[in-house]
């Protein structure tokens, strides 16, 4: 079996992202189908994520370098050009290899005609690199590697923090673990990591969290296959502690995780409390990941493929607690999903806010009097967070918000907002709502 051309595989994976019709979520399966393994797999991921992370700048440079844009059917060639620029700007690949092997990858895509064009563009960039970079970086949105509309929204919402927010998005997130307290406590697991030669620190806010100083393959983590630990950002790990006042005092509580896939928060709740948990998700394929996670961790829940904005699935038995980790713009996790900068549109925010409102109204009906609904998003957009909860409280007479006495994030109306931090947590929003008993 011949060795796949890594750059050609990456270009094919990036082409639908550039076209706005695909995401990096499909990258793993694309690499597997192409037979990319081992170190080449790591290189391919670094290339694809890096291109998406720096896309505004790379695209601005490519517009200057090309006399004429490639046709839409040649998005894979455009992707090769971006891959070449990324290697020259941000990687330690020898320049002759970055140019020669990237241009040559056009042949592997059956488009040998593009080799000369790519060679010419990349060699011109090598000659004029300083001047070309200075030219595109005059635009602040390009220098900060974000779409202008996002930066405009953040300037309005976070006038003192928007630049830091964007800069955090431009750095890869750290690898953070959640220790399964049913197997081992955090201090003991930190010692196991040290014995394995893996340096790590406890997370400052999440009681079960550990952040590795360098990312590694999960297979290198002690006890991973036995369920001792899972990969999960610190911000996502704050869900279980926020439900502790309700769940720690109610063994066997009925709990609904309404948008549960891929299952990290589901598993954390089951690790922390004794529950009767129903995990719902509208995507049956993604729900399969919840089942796989629970199996690895030795946990049990009822999983249902159903739309949480409708109640056909509900047996009319109320829940003591509902977790609504709502579908959102993902603008708090851009560093882990940099293709969001390409795929998200301003109109998406309004549409997502309308969906979140429907989910809140519908799921509120499933909550028992005195019960708790925890609303969460991985967004930093006020429309999906502080404004969303304010509107819900205004139209829902039997709802009130708990004050969150925590040492993380910042007050945001009735909830709490975390902005992404370099080497720290992702961006998240939480609000804890209670149903009155009267």
Binding positions for S-adenosyl-L-methionine: 259-265, 281, 307, 325
Peptide bond into 262 cis (omega under 30): yes
Closest CA to 262 of 283, 233, 243, 238: 283
Is residue 243 within 8 Å of 321, Cβ to Cβ? yes
Q: In a 10 Å sphere around its CB, with 0-12 CB exposed, 13-18 middle and 19+ buried, how is residue 414 labelled? A: buried
**Cβ-based neighbours of 389, under 8 Å, separated by 6 or more:** 375, 401, 413, 414, 415, 431, 433
Closest CA to 205 of 425, 376, 432: 425
**Cβ-based neighbours of 196, under 8 Å, separated by 6 or more:** 220, 221, 222
CA atoms of 318 and 158, how far apart (whole Å) = 38
Instruction: Give kind and range of the element (H or E) at residue 14.
Output: helix 6-18
Annotation: binding site:
259-265, 281, 307, 325
Is residue 408 within 8 Å of 416, Cβ to Cβ? yes
Is residue 102 within 8 Å of 88, Cβ to Cβ? no
Active-site residue, from 10, 48, 121, 378: 378
DSSP 302-317: EEEE--TTS-TT--SP
Strand intervals (E) in 360-398:
367-377
Is residue 347 within 8 Å of 58, Cβ to Cβ? no
Closest CA to 108 of 120, 118, 95: 118
Q: At what angle do helices 55-65 and 38-53 cross, to 10 degrees?
A: 80
CA atoms of 420 and 165, how far apart (whole Å) = 6
378 carries an active-site annotation = yes
Q: In the numeric block, which tokens belong to residue 181?
A: 């307290």
The backbone region for 147, taken as left when phi is positive above 0, alpha when psi lies in -120 to 50, beta otherwise, is: beta
Residues annotated as catalytic are 378
């Amino acid at each position: 079996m011949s060795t796949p051309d890594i750059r050609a595989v990456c270009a094919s994976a990036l082409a639908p992202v550039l076209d706005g019709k695909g995401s990096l979520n499909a990258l793993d399966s694309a690499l597997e189908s192409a037979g990319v393994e081992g170190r080449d797999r790591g290189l391919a991921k670094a290339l694809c994520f890096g291109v998406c992370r720096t896309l505004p700048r790379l695209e601005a440079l490519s517009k200057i370098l090309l006399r004429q844009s490639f046709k839409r059917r040649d998005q894979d060639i455009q992707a090769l050009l971006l891959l070449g620029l990324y290697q020259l700007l941000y990687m330690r690949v020898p320049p002759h290899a970055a140019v020669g092997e990237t241009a040559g990858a056009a042949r592997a895509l059956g488009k040998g005609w593009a080799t000369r064009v790519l060679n010419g563009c990349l060699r011109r960039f090598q000659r004029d690199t300083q001047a070309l970079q200075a030219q595109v970086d005059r635009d602040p949105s390009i220098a900060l590697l974000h779409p202008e509309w996002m930066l405009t929204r953040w300037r309005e919402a976070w006038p003192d923090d928007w630049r830091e927010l964007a800069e955090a998005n431009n750095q890869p997130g750290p690898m953070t673990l959640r220790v399964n307290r049913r197997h081992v406590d955090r201090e003991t697991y930190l010692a196991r990591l040290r014995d394995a030669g893996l340096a790590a620190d406890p997370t400052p806010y999440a009681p079960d969290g550990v952040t590795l100083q360098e990312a590694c393959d999960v297979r290198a983590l002690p006890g991973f296959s036995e369920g001792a630990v899972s990969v999960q950002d610190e911000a996502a790990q704050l869900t279980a502690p926020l439900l502790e006042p309700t769940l720690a005092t109610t063994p066997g509580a009925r709990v609904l995780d309404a948008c549960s896939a891929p299952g990290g928060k589901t598993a954390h709740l089951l690790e922390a409390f004794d529950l009767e948990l129903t995990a719902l998700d509208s995507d049956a394929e993604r729900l399969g990941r919840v089942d796989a996670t629970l199996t690895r961790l030795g946990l049990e829940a009822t999983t249902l493929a159903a739309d949480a904005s409708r109640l056909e699935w509900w047996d009319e038995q109320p829940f003591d607690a509902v977790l609504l980790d709502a579908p959102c713009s993902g603008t708090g996790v851009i560093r882990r999903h940099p293709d969001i900068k390409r795929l998200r549109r301003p109109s998406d925010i309004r549409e997502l806010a309308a969906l979140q409102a429907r989910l809140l109204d519908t799921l509120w009906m499933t909550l028992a009097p005195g019960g708790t609904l925890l609303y969460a998003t991985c967004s930093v957009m006020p429309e999906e967070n502080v404004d969303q909860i304010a509107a819900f409280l205004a139209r829902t007479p039997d709802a009130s918000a708990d004050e969150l006495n925590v040492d993380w994030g910042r007050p945001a109306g009735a909830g709490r907002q975390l902005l992404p931090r370099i080497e720290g947590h992702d961006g998240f929003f939480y609000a804890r709502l209670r149903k009155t008993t009267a």
